[in-house]
Chains A and B, each alone.
Chain A
Amino acid sequence: MALDREQKEGAEVLLMGNEAIARGALEAGVRVAAGYPGTPSSEIIETLSRFSEAGKLYVEWSTNEKVAMEVAAAASFAGLRSLCVMKQNGVNVASDFLLHLAGSGTRGGMILVTCDDPGALSSVNEGESRHFARLMEIPLIEPADFQEAKEMTRWAFDLSEQIRNVVMVRSVTRMSHASGNIVLGTLPALKGKAEFLCDGPVSDPERGPVISAPVIAKHRLQQEKLRKATALFEESPFNAYSGPEKPELLIITSSACTLYSREAVSLLRAEGRAGILKLGTTWPLPPALLKRHLRRTQKVLIVEEVLPFLEDQVKILAAEQAREIGIKTFYGKNDGALPTVGELNPDLVAAAVGRILGIDPPAIPAEYGDKLRRLTEFLPKRDQTFCPGCPHRASYWGIREALQRDNRGGFVCGDIGCYAMAVLFQAAGFHTAKTLHAMGSGAGIASGFGKLGPFGMTQPVLAVCGDSTFYHAAIPALINAVHQRADITFIVLDNSGTAMTGFQSHPGLDVNAMGEAAPMVDIAALCGAMGVPVTIGDPFELIETRETLNRLLEEPGVKVLILKQSCALSPEKKGKKRFLVRVDDTLCRGEACGCNRLCTRIFRCPGLLWNRERKRAEIDEVICAGCGFCAGICPAGAIRSEEAAKP
């Protein structure tokens, strides 16, 4: 079930954590929402966009997270409630603005929703946004279940208006992407006109200019706001203890780890020995509340994912209060009770609690293991690779051929998008892509490599970047490369959408997040305006792509190649085959010299199968997207493609 307009107040509906957050914002009367797509955060803006309506709720996919935060801040300055949303890396991008915003303060309630990804299930890092709350001196709250996700989001707007500063609401993958039952609240009548009052003095938070200076005065004011938040946190219903009055072990936790902790205690049947203090307001920690609970026992286990953020704060408070609460024994990250990398789960927490309390966690029954083995035997082994018909596979094939022909050890600086798969799984990118960092970093790193010629570097340097990533962060790096005369070939893998996160709109498309017509910002024209040669190609035209690249690799300076072909899953392509592809058995050479299974051993589109009995390649007609590219790589011409009849 998804959130929709028909659902009434008081109804209990099954919602994803991200939908619950969106609902909370709607119930708070949010008027402006902006974000940049990134798993696991994308569904929040997607959900809100379905509720967008002129004059009531404006929703946008911004070019990047910093811009999203700036857009949301403007609405707040004009007195409206606003939200910006991003994944953990996005907070890094937005952090420069966030530092200043936290100093200047806000007017209409403004929240920053960040969805972290411990374990990096869909990220190339497990960076944490919690630390930003401390660094930027803004309040942090973390829901621990789906109902809370809605309620805390709604409350965060109130809190923001009470302290006149932005509030961070943090979710994690298991909160954002799991679903639970939620009782809906009231949607408010939307009122209030947007107006930026700015005719007062700097010292007037209602009518003055919005600025983080005079710095010392503003900084002092900011810290007062934080103390006010701390006082409110002391009474917050989102902090709750459950367990014996005097437990042997006090578990302090937050977020999804609350659920793991409850399950672990139940698994060990330790309900009589361990109590759980679940915190919803995790920065700054309310000291009186902590004092009350720390007094219960001598042993404290802090359960949280990745780094010891909560643990450090609890220890600081415990040290300050030691005279009153006594000396505690702490378990958590620093003593190795729990890992400092990866996700937690009930088993890991149970093992830690069991060690402290001297309880052996119940063994997994042998028959369970047998069942698991039997079941997993049937799981098909799959490469982590591009989808059938993916233009990135064709692009990398062309890049590989060009680099091998060039023969100077050239390499690709990767970037964030589906095409990052080429770096993560070298077989997917045919061993061409060799660096992968933040969005836009491919171009920046290439810009640096491209200046190492005088140090003896002779390898050609390429960078790839998706269309959405181009607008997000590649432009400044590209401009740098142009201005510094770096020798690089910059390839835009333009698949006409933010494909990896679910085809959200971006400035290169003619539609915005709300489905309205929008002007397109042309990548080729932008690059052309930088004064560098721009070539536009189709990655499915292998020979042309390869020859273009080989020519560009020989030329000095910045060269731009835009390889344009829509994502195989794009709305206009999905389910439609351009070509009907089949393998001619009489021509397929299979394992013999002259082919050696190029299509299924090297090219490895999932739409191509190797039939072990017949020793011939086959097309999996169910998943073949009909791009026809493989017909051009078969040395025997055994893969035949014919234009599919137009429906």
Chain B
Amino acid sequence: MQQQMRDPTEKGNGRGGQKELEEQVLRAGLCTGCGACVNLCPYQAIHHDRTVTLHACDLAQGRCYTCCPRTPADLDDLRRKLYEEMDCTPELGAVKGFFVARAADEGVRRGAQHGGTVTTLVTLALREGLIDAAVLAGEGEGLLPHSVTITDAEVAAKMGKSRFVVSPTVAEFNRICRGDAAKIGVVATPCQALALAKMRTQPVSEVENGIEKLHLVVGLFCGWALSWQKLAALLKAKTELDQVTGMDIPPSRYHTLEVYTRGETIRVSLDEVNPCVREACHSCDDMTAEFSDLSVGSARLPEGWEASRSWNQVIVRTQRGMDLLELARHRGVLEFREPSRGNLEKLKAASLGKKKAAAGRSYAQRDSVERTGQAG
């Protein structure tokens, strides 16, 4: 993406069709599995967590290519169109406000990954009618999440766990765009948020795409996602997959993936986990879902990991995001604490670290022949 920022006109002015998508993204191992190219047409589909081509399309230009978060785009232009210039930072994108928050309801926190902030915000937005449908990653079978559309706030309240394998959320958004929902909210990873931002700003064809129905994007902080096939193979050697109830990554000094099963907690060294990371994630330079209305991630508090686990950090990026957060404060469904000193700076440093790694990777990748084919 560093490369994209330097020269947005490279590779055909950001326009192309399925052929270019295959060459530059799918076969280049850059597909994130976000689902942006799926459910627009009968040619692309998601199988497990991979994007596949079912049949050849010969159109020179297609939404599949334009909306893909890994095809060239002028990101500065996207920011100008979607965010206020004064809010924009080089490290974290637009920052209108920075908060440490959590669900006031302890029950929500228990059912959620950390502070339950995302669950609370989505539930609130549905309850208050700000959105009438929310697209989220639901629990699937054998560690493979699937994207679902929820219209009932009470159902959304029960779906707060982090997923470590990507689900084709944008594909589900594409699908329900054609349905009855009028105001759609999406809980999105950074790549999914970028795909939605591209849809909002880069109309391709006269065919209706329903992007105007997008009313809220709640971004998720994301370090990487794992390849389902590789993760399943790794965990199958350690436990029964249907015993896994959740997973988490404690701060980096632990160097561990914690896998919670019905019986015990299995600690897997990140040395074992790293080879399972999707190839595409190594080239991602967005840790905090910069193209959302507000982004939520786990908190890092001076009291340590156990205390941090019940809190979230929130970056508010748009007025719509701010209004939602303030409504949550007003309704008393979120509670807040002061961010500790240097918290935002640490976050900026971490985000910058990911950008540098991605930039280094993208240079290295030019000479690298190490490819695993389609997004794996």
Chain A residues near B (Cβ < 8 Å): 400-401, 404-407, 430, 550, 589, 591-596, 598, 601-602, 633, 635
B369 at interface by CB-CB < 8 Å: no
Within 8 A of A (CB), among B305-333: none
Within 8 A of A (CB), among B43-99: 43, 45, 47, 50, 52-59, 61-64
- Chain A, Cβ-Cβ closest to B58: A596
Check if A406 sits within 8 Å of B47, measured CB to CB: yes
A589 to B41, CA, bound (A): 10
Check if B207 sits within 8 Å of A589, measured CB to CB: yes
B43: chain A residues within 8 A (beta carbon): 596, 598
Residues A592 and B47 in contact in the complex (CB < 8 Å), given A400-B54, A401-B54:
no
Residues A593 and B42 in contact in the complex (CB < 8 Å), given A400-B55, A405-B52, A406-B47:
no
Check if A407 sits within 8 Å of B50, measured CB to CB: yes
- Chain A, Cβ-Cβ closest to B55: A602
What mask results when residues 345 to 376 of chain B are scored 1 for a CB within 8 Å of chain A, else 0?
Answer: 00000000000000000000000000000100
B47, B53, B205 interface centre (most CB from chain A within 10 Å):
B47
Given contacts A404-B45, A596-B57, 13 further A-B contacts (CB under 8 A): A400-B54, A401-B45, A404-B55, A430-B55, A550-B47, A589-B207, A593-B40, A593-B61, A593-B62, A593-B64, A596-B41, A596-B58, A598-B55
B206 at interface by CB-CB < 8 Å: yes
- Chain A, Cβ-Cβ closest to B206: A592
Check if A593 sits within 8 Å of B205, measured CB to CB: yes
B273 at interface by CB-CB < 8 Å: no
Instruction: Report B364 CB to chain A, min CB distance, Å.
Output: 26
A589: chain B residues within 8 A (beta carbon): 207
A593 to B47, CA, bound (A): 22
Instruction: Report A554 CB to chain B, min CB distance, Å.
Output: 10
Residues A594 and B40 in contact in the complex (CB < 8 Å), given A407-B50, A407-B52, A589-B207:
yes
A602 to B57, CA, bound (A): 9
Instruction: Report B234 CB to chain A, min CB distance, Å.
Output: 17
Check if A593 sits within 8 Å of B55, measured CB to CB: no
Q: List 7 A-B pairs, minimum CB-CB distance, nearest first.
A: A405-B47, A635-B42, A593-B62, A593-B205, A602-B55, A404-B54, A594-B41
A404: chain B residues within 8 A (beta carbon): 45, 52-55
B interface SS class: loop
Instruction: Report A546 CB to chain B, min CB distance, Å.
Output: 10
Q: Which of A405, A406, A550, A633 contacts B42 (CB 8 A)?
A: A633
B182 at interface by CB-CB < 8 Å: no
22 pairs from A and B in contact (CB 8 Å cutoff):
A400-B54, A401-B45, A401-B54, A404-B45, A404-B54, A405-B54, A407-B50, A407-B52, A550-B47, A589-B207, A591-B59, A592-B206, A593-B61, A593-B64, A594-B63, A594-B205, A595-B42, A598-B43, A598-B55, A602-B55, A602-B56, A635-B41
Check if B374 sits within 8 Å of A592, measured CB to CB: no
A440 to B186, CA, bound (A): 53
Q: How many residues of B contact A (CB 8 A)?
A: 24
- Chain B, Cβ-Cβ closest to A430: B55
A596 to B45, CA, bound (A): 16
Check if A593 sits within 8 Å of B53, measured CB to CB: no
A633 to B57, CA, bound (A): 15
- Chain A, Cβ-Cβ closest to B64: A593
A601: chain B residues within 8 A (beta carbon): 58
B56, B57, B205 interface centre (most CB from chain A within 10 Å):
B57
Chain B residues near A (Cβ < 8 Å): 40-43, 45, 47, 50, 52-59, 61-64, 204-207, 374
A223 to B197, CA, bound (A): 87
- Chain A, Cβ-Cβ closest to B39: A635
A633 to B204, CA, bound (A): 24
Instruction: Report A617 CB to chain B, min CB distance, Å.
Output: 13
A407, A550, A591, A592 interface centre (most CB from chain B within 10 Å):
A407
A interface SS class: loop
Check if A593 sits within 8 Å of B59, measured CB to CB: yes
A196 to B40, CA, bound (A): 72
Residues A593 and B63 in contact in the complex (CB < 8 Å), given A406-B47, A635-B42:
yes
Residues A407 and B47 in contact in the complex (CB < 8 Å), given A593-B41, A596-B41:
yes
Check if A592 sits within 8 Å of B205, measured CB to CB: yes
A401 to B41, CA, bound (A): 14
Check if A598 sits within 8 Å of B47, measured CB to CB: no
Instruction: Report A406 CB to chain B, min CB distance, Å.
Output: 7
Check if B52 sits within 8 Å of A596, measured CB to CB: no
Instruction: Report A635 CB to chain B, min CB distance, Å.
Output: 4
A404 to B48, CA, bound (A): 12
Instruction: Report A460 CB to chain B, min CB distance, Å.
Output: 13
B40: chain A residues within 8 A (beta carbon): 593-594
A407: chain B residues within 8 A (beta carbon): 47, 50, 52, 374
A592, A593, A595 interface centre (most CB from chain B within 10 Å):
A593
Residues A593 and B58 in contact in the complex (CB < 8 Å), given A404-B52, A407-B52, A635-B42:
no
A430: chain B residues within 8 A (beta carbon): 55
Instruction: Report B304 CB to chain A, min CB distance, Å.
Output: 43
B41: chain A residues within 8 A (beta carbon): 593-596, 598, 635
Instruction: Report B222 CB to chain A, min CB distance, Å.
Output: 24
A52 to B34, CA, bound (A): 67
A602 to B40, CA, bound (A): 17
A601 to B53, CA, bound (A): 16
Instruction: Report A443 CB to chain B, min CB distance, Å.
Output: 27
- Chain B, Cβ-Cβ closest to A408: B373
A593 to B59, CA, bound (A): 7
Instruction: Report B61 CB to chain A, min CB distance, Å.
Output: 7
A12 to B50, CA, bound (A): 70
Instruction: Report A590 CB to chain B, min CB distance, Å.
Output: 10
A214 to B45, CA, bound (A): 67
B45: chain A residues within 8 A (beta carbon): 401, 404-405
Check if A592 sits within 8 Å of B207, measured CB to CB: yes
Instruction: Report B104 CB to chain A, min CB distance, Å.
Output: 43
Instruction: Report A543 CB to chain B, min CB distance, Å.
Output: 12
Instruction: Report B16 CB to chain A, min CB distance, Å.
Output: 12
Instruction: Report A217 CB to chain B, min CB distance, Å.
Output: 65
B207: chain A residues within 8 A (beta carbon): 589, 592-594
B53: chain A residues within 8 A (beta carbon): 404
A465 to B270, CA, bound (A): 48
A598 to B41, CA, bound (A): 9
Instruction: Report A597 CB to chain B, min CB distance, Å.
Output: 10
- Chain B, Cβ-Cβ closest to A407: B52
Instruction: Report B198 CB to chain A, min CB distance, Å.
Output: 15
Check if A593 sits within 8 Å of B54, measured CB to CB: no
A144 to B311, CA, bound (A): 94
A550: chain B residues within 8 A (beta carbon): 47
B206: chain A residues within 8 A (beta carbon): 592
B61: chain A residues within 8 A (beta carbon): 593
Instruction: Report B39 CB to chain A, min CB distance, Å.
Output: 9
Instruction: Report B179 CB to chain A, min CB distance, Å.
Output: 12
A400, A430, A595 interface centre (most CB from chain B within 10 Å):
A595
Instruction: Report B51 CB to chain A, min CB distance, Å.
Output: 9
B55, B57, B374 interface centre (most CB from chain A within 10 Å):
B55
Check if B54 sits within 8 Å of A596, measured CB to CB: no
Check if B59 sits within 8 Å of A596, measured CB to CB: yes
Q: Which of B56, B204, B374 contacts A593 (CB 8 A)?
A: B204
A595 to B18, CA, bound (A): 12
Instruction: Report A587 CB to chain B, min CB distance, Å.
Output: 11
B63: chain A residues within 8 A (beta carbon): 593-594
- Chain A, Cβ-Cβ closest to B47: A405
Instruction: Report A166 CB to chain B, min CB distance, Å.
Output: 52
Instruction: Report B227 CB to chain A, min CB distance, Å.
Output: 13
Instruction: Report B177 CB to chain A, min CB distance, Å.
Output: 12
A550 to B41, CA, bound (A): 21
B58: chain A residues within 8 A (beta carbon): 596, 601
B45, B54, B58 interface centre (most CB from chain A within 10 Å):
B54
- Chain A, Cβ-Cβ closest to B59: A596
Instruction: Report A422 CB to chain B, min CB distance, Å.
Output: 15
Instruction: Report A295 CB to chain B, min CB distance, Å.
Output: 66
Instruction: Report A629 CB to chain B, min CB distance, Å.
Output: 14
A159 to B52, CA, bound (A): 65
